[in-house]
Amino acid sequence: MPTSMQRCASPSSRSSSRPMTIGIAYVDGPRLARSMFAAADWVAAGRDEINRINVFPVPDGDTGTNFSLTLRAVADALRALGDASLPETARTMARAGVLGARGNSGMMLAHFLMGFADELGDRPTGSTRDVAAALRRGADRLYESLDDPREGTILTVAREAAAAAERAALETEDIGDFMHRLLAEGERALARTPELMAVLKEAGVVDAGGKGFVRMLEGVVRYIEGDPILALAAPDGTPASAIQAPAAAVEIAAERDFQYCTEVLVRGEQLPPANEVRAAMHGFGGSVVVAVVTDILKIHVHTDTPEAVFSYAARWGKVETTKADDMRAQHRRLAHADRRPVAVVTDSSADLTDQVLDRHHIAIVPLQVVFGSTTFRDRVELRPEEFYRRLRAARDLPTTSQPTPAEVIRVLRDARAEADEVVAVLLSGTLSGTYASAHAAVKAAGISGVHLVDSRSASLGVGMLALRGAELAEAGWAGADIAAELERVRGQAGMLLTVDRFDNLLRSGRVSRGKAWIAGMLDVKPILSLDEAGRVVPVDRVRGRDQLVPRVLALLEQRLTPRPQVVRFGVVHTEAPEAAERVRMALVAAYRPRDCFVSLATGVLGTHVGEGAWAIFYQVEDGTPARLDVTTKGDGGSTHVQERIAR
């Protein structure tokens, strides 16, 4: 079957003019599987266009991606199954739909596939009447899965297509003719969606979920006709991803303005009914879709508290996978859709505020924080405040892990899709495998135009270097020049860190058990720094908290004499806000820096230093080549503090 992705004719021609086809009397397992392969390929080919028109339920521009990935999971499962009977193929399709469901649209597709498979039952083959009945059951199952079904969405398109299928089944026994009639009605129903939903009409688009459903049907028709699967483009040849998205101009309705598109998959022997789970999830947010199949429970909800959803879901069984995508960030990216020469990426250890990251379009790769058997994506599924709450209650200390290769590839590919080059500024390679993982991921995925920079630092040391890179990108520097300049600035940066307790340093091997015991008894506080390779090294120690701030400031004075002309500071703490504020005031008074950021550290740093720690990161930016000098006023002014705001 065709799998290539190139430019194609408009979908509307598919149902209006068709060649003669050899009659197909029935559907069996292999035919159903190959139809789903084609549907998955065709939806993937139009993914960017579907993303572009995604304005409901929230304009986050990911409906095409989610619908496509859900169908891709179905196709992958069917390929792994191989040629099988119709009942086994249908059951595999439905189960894979639930397991692989992504986002609101993916969950709704999963429900449709579950109903479709249920109706086919144990039939060895399916006639047009059998397929029509299965489509009807799929549409009904989709309606039943929602507490507040809305017309003008995929619901309307699926229902109208099912009605057309029932009419067609009375008139033809040819699966090919049947599918053409089904597609034609689906397209007409899709065209009517703006009349049923005001937000679509205002944006001048059809429903994105409905569009995905119609492309799925069209993929099947293309397979029947033997047509190639070709990527969608504008009439002038412009890729859909480069066209301004209507979704970017749509305001999110107040009742739907939750931050995270949250999903959790639970396995259990005695799962509750879907309506009971839906009722519980409405307490956390909206856009609730729940699927239960045998031992699997899949939940989708838009919420501001994904961690609370994960914790609540654990009562029903073992939580196997979780996801929390920031929809507000997705919507902001749509507004910044113009292609840039250079995009900047960093990792979640960077500790810059959400506002700074958004202002400079800096994307983050989340590291992982592990509490017991539960793994969280730092800053995405585990915000700093929640990390410290868990830390206080934990019997065993958490651990951290580098990002998964798939996560690194996803972020870098997204950045590369938006820009000609990417500069990625990452956590010190001697402290984490993140930098090495990024190198391997870029090579394995064949992503071109990516410049990796080892910050040889951590926390705001990473963040401020990434911020400088973003400023240089905004000033028109090329990617290679930015990377070289950041490596130069890296040599003029540093850190002074102190911890309040030795538990975490002891476990990491930074101090011996004997030294930790003596230091604890004598109330000795270490002062640590980073060497040229980015390794943590001791530089001093003092007795008592009262001596810490003066001693750290004195060490900083030695390092910054003579005074630099341009310097940035970052003060990061692990629930030590009073000390952080005292340090900030002293830095601003003494140095009048370009920026002085203050942040609550994410779990990546907090795991290794424990509560009560704080650090000063400094970055001297003197010496930028005059011919390429970038003059900026800083991200917050010389006396401005940007506290992290958890949303």
Whether residue 632 has pLDDT greater than 60: no
Amino acid 644: pLDDT? 30
Distance CA 208, CA 68 (A): 12
What's the pLDDT tens digit per position in 297-322? 999 898 888 888 998 999 999 888 88
Residue that is written with structure tokens 């005292």 in the block: 582
Domains 13-235 and 492-628 share a fold: no
% of the chain beyond a pLDDT of 70: 82
Instruction: Work out the burial of residue 45: count CB atoms within 10 Å of its CB; fewer than 13 is exposed, 13-18 middle, 19 or more buried.
Output: buried
Q: Which of 18-32, 112-126, 345-359 has the lowest mean pLDDT?
A: 18-32
- Among the residue ranges 78-87, 331-340, 636-645, the one predicted with the least confidence is 636-645
Task: Give the count of beta carbons closer than 10 Å to the beta carbon of residue 637.
Answer: 12
DSSP codes joined into one string, 405-466: HHHHHHHHHHHHHHEEEEEEEES-TTT-SHHHHHHHHHHHHT--SEEEEE-S--THHHHHHH
Q: Cα(134)–Cα(122) distance, rounded to whole angstroms?
A: 12
Residue whose structure tokens are 């950045």:
415
pLDDT-wise least confident of 15-19, 169-173, 447-451: 15-19
* Between residues 512 and 351, the one the model is more confident about: 351
Q: What is the pLDDT of residue 15?
A: 47
Q: Does residue 57 have a cis peptide bond before it, meaning omega lies within 30 degrees of 0?
A: yes
Categorize the per-residue pLDDT at 251 as very low, low, confident or very high, splitting at 50, 70 and 90. Answer: very low
Whether the Cβ atoms of residue 602 and residue 385 lie closer than 8 Å to each other = no
pLDDT at 520 over 80: no
pLDDT band at residue 373 under the 50/70/90 scheme:
confident
pLDDT at 60: 54
Please state which CATH number belongs to domain 492-628: 3.30.1180.10
Tokens, residue 157: 């398109």
What band does 239 get if pLDDT is binned at 50, 70 and 90? very low
pLDDT tens, 167-180? 999 999 999 999 99
The two structure tokens encoding residue 85: 């009977």
For 600, list phi and psi in degrees, rounded to 5. -80, 125
597 — phi, psi (to 5°)?
-85, 145
Instruction: Give the sign of the dihedral formed by CA 59, CA 65, CA 71, CA 77.
Output: negative
Query: pLDDT tens for residues 384-425?
Result: 998 999 998 888 889 899 988 888 988 898 888 888 999 999
Domain extent listing, the chain: 13-235, 257-330, 492-628
Q: Is pLDDT of 94 > 70? A: yes
3-state secondary structure of 136: helix
| Angle in degrees, CA 299, 289, 99, rounded to 5 | 45
Q: CATH fold of 257-330, please?
A: Alpha-Beta Plaits (3.30.70)
pLDDT at 166 over 60: yes
SS3 476: coil
Single-letter code of the amino acid located at 412: L
Q: Are 609 and 504 in contact (CB under 8 A)?
A: yes
User: What is the number of residues in the chain?
Assistant: 647
The DSSP secondary structure of 552-574, one letter per residue, reads HHHHHHHHT-SPPSSEEEEEEES
Q: Work out whether the CA dihedral 471, 474, 476, 479 comes out positive or negative.
A: positive
The token duo for 299 is: 């939940």
Q: Decide which of 559 and 320 is more confident.
A: 559
Residue 426's nearest CA partner among 366, 482, 383 is: 366
Q: Give whole-number Cα distances, 109 to 104, 218, 263, 273, in Å.
A: 9, 16, 15, 19
Tens-digit pLDDT profile for residues 252-308? 444 445 788 888 999 988 899 888 998 899 889 888 888 888 888 999 898 888 888
- pLDDT for position 355: 81
Cis preceding-peptide flag for 625 (omega within 30 of 0):
no
On the question of pLDDT at 547 being above 50, the answer is yes
pLDDT-derived band at 17 (thresholds 50, 70, 90) equals very low
Q: Which residues contact 553 (CB under 8 A, 6 or more apart)?
A: 583, 586, 590
pLDDT confidence of 484, banded at 50, 70, 90?
Answer: very high
Average pLDDT value over all residues in the chain: 83
**pLDDT number for residue 5:** 32
Q: How far apart are CA 337 and CA 448, in angstroms?
A: 20
| pLDDT surpasses 80 at 154 | yes
Burial code (b: 16+ CB inside 10 Å, e: under 16) for 332-363 equals bbbeebeebebbbbbbbbbbbbbebbbebbbb
Q: Which CATH architecture has domain 13-235?
A: Alpha Horseshoe (1.25)
pLDDT in tens, 34-55: 999 999 999 988 888 888 887 7
Distance CA 48, CA 63 (A): 9
Q: What pLDDT shows up at residue 504?
A: 56
Does residue 641 carry a pLDDT above 80?
Answer: no
Average pLDDT (473-477) is 92
Contacts of 320 by beta carbon, 8 Å cutoff, 6+ apart:
265, 266, 267
